[in-house]
Amino acid sequence: MKGFRPLTWFRSRPLRSRLALLTAFAVAVAVAAVSTACWFVTRAQLEAEMDNALRNSRLDPSSVQSLLTMCRQGTTPPPVGGSYTVQVIVSNGGVCTSGQAPIPASATDLAVAQGRLAYALHTTKDGDGREMRVYTYPQEGPISGIAVSVARPLSEIDNSMSTLRWVLLLVSGIGVVGAGAAGLWVARTGLEPVDRLTGAVEHVAATEDLTVRIPVEGEDEIARLSRSFNAMTAALATSRDRQSQLIADAGHELRTPLTSLRTNIELLARIEETGRTIPADDRRALMASVKAQMTELASLIGDLQELARPDTARPGVLEVVPLHGILRTALDRAKLRGPELTFVTDLAPWYVRGEAAALERALVNVLDNAVKFSPPRGTVEVTLMRGELTVRDHGPGIPADELPHVFDRFWRSPSARSLPGSGLGLSIVARTVQQAGGTISLSPAEGGGTVARLALPGAPTPPPEIGSTGTPAPTTLP
């Protein structure tokens, strides 16, 4: 066929067809090799048995003498050995054959008659064109200078080998067909879980139904693939649910500042349209409210952008930074938001590897949370010792049933719903700390209030300075 490429055609076949073809081909090669070896071994064995039979078919001297006498008298000798052809070879080249087609005397046969060889064993053709296996040996006794050749036709072996050939071809054909059928059955059975998986993937692609699960049977590779698919769809379903919940919560949280902002702007617009004037204090209060709502809206949008970044997204520049230095900066910002509060600090040096801006934002959120729930003229205790940061306030504390939810997105306790904030601060803190390899927890403090514990891996001393070559020296930080 013009342009036919077997490899391309094979690759275009379905997987089960390729498996069946490969199985049939492998069996065909194995059967062909075994059949060929069997054929040659059998033929060699039959030829060896024929040679042994020829060696054991020597005539007695009287029979040889009778055969020579009849040939000298011009009488055709009758057959002597049934299927055997017997002839006497004289040293001068004369031949006397017993009732069969004569066999030409070869040089080795004459050498045996002349006493130069002990025997001769070869294959030749007789006068009728049949292939003969010939054994020639010297005649012993009173008759000297002659040799006797005993021959049998190779057609005896050829007939047996022909029968064996057809038997091997038949058995090989049945074996190859059976192997192909077995390979197809095995392929169908083995690929049935793959078909189920393919159907499930196609169903998910067509319907976006992530509740599909594949039954898992056994512990083989197919079972592992099924478990991986089920885990993937479960993770995708959870991610989609979290995304939907985030959008719903974000819409709910955005609605409040937007509504308040729109109300205040509409009020200002109506005042401008009617030409009425409002007291300066009321106008300042109205503008302050607009500014506060805009600030809250900008903060909420920034928090949403931070949480919208995938957990696997590449972070910013990672460098060794002093956590105690970042904490002091965060404390300065927190003091501006709670000027009436007293901050008691005990900061030991600690160096971590991370993104400075993200760490500062996380620390500010933790401190803001303490400032927000501290009573007027209260105290906030901040301690950094051996990489563990504790921030303790003396506020109302967090009920035990609310502690599991404090790091959830948009979650706010009932007592904090009247306070400013979006409910995203602690979620951002937890995410930043986890990306830096640390841990964070909130728990009730003895005597009232809440204590936040934040631990980050690092070292109490900075790494060696960067060398003159510009390459940083090795550091002991994780």
Are residues 330 and 280 located together in one domain of the fold?
no
CB 387 within 8 Å of CB 350: yes
CB 373 within 8 Å of CB 395: yes
Confidence of residue 467 (pLDDT cuts 50, 70, 90): very low
How many structural domains are present in the chain? 3
What one-character-per-residue DSSP string does 184-200 give? HHHHHHHTHHHHHHHHH
Are residues 12 and 96 located together in one domain of the fold?
yes
Are residues 66 and 120 located together in one domain of the fold?
yes
- pLDDT (0 to 100) of residue 392: 92
Identify the domain containing residue 275 by its residue range: 221-308
User: 467 lies in a domain?
Assistant: no
DSSP bridge pairs for 138: 147
Judged by DSSP in three states, 285 sits in helix
What one-character-per-residue DSSP string does 76-125 give? PPPPSSTT-EEEEEETTS-EEESSS---PPPHHHHHHHTTS-S-EEEEEE
In terms of Cα–Cα distance, which of 381, 300, 291, 397 is closest to 334?
381
User: 472 lies in a domain?
Assistant: no
Looking at 308, 336, 364, which one is the last position of a domain? 308
Are residues 164 and 58 located together in one domain of the fold?
yes
If you ran DSSP here, which 8-state letter would residue 377 be given?
T
- pLDDT (0 to 100) of residue 476: 42
Structural tokens at position 307: 């949480």
Q: What does the alpha-carbon distance between residue 152 and residue 134 come to, in Å, rounded to a whole number? A: 7
Are residues 304 and 350 located together in one domain of the fold?
no
CA-angle at 399, arms to 394 and 405, nearest 5°: 110
User: 206 lies in a domain?
Assistant: no
Looking at 174, 190, 206, which one is the last position of a domain? 190
Place of tokens 């006498």: 69
Structural tokens at position 404: 């599991």
Are residues 430 and 401 located together in one domain of the fold?
yes
Are residues 410 and 295 located together in one domain of the fold?
no
User: 262 lies in a domain?
Assistant: yes
In terms of Cα–Cα distance, which of 328, 323, 263 is closest to 290?
263
Are residues 122 and 264 located together in one domain of the fold?
no
User: 465 lies in a domain?
Assistant: no
User: 303 lies in a domain?
Assistant: yes
User: 90 lies in a domain?
Assistant: yes
Are residues 257 and 178 located together in one domain of the fold?
no
Are residues 282 and 425 located together in one domain of the fold?
no
Are residues 302 and 323 located together in one domain of the fold?
no
pLDDT value at 17 more than 60 = yes
Give 79-112 pLDDT, tens digit per residue.
Answer: 665 678 888 888 887 888 876 788 888 889 888 8
Q: Which helix (H) or strand (E) holds 132?
A: strand 131-138
Structural tokens at position 282: 């009321």
Are residues 332 and 372 located together in one domain of the fold?
yes
User: 49 lies in a domain?
Assistant: yes
pLDDT value at 181 more than 50 = yes
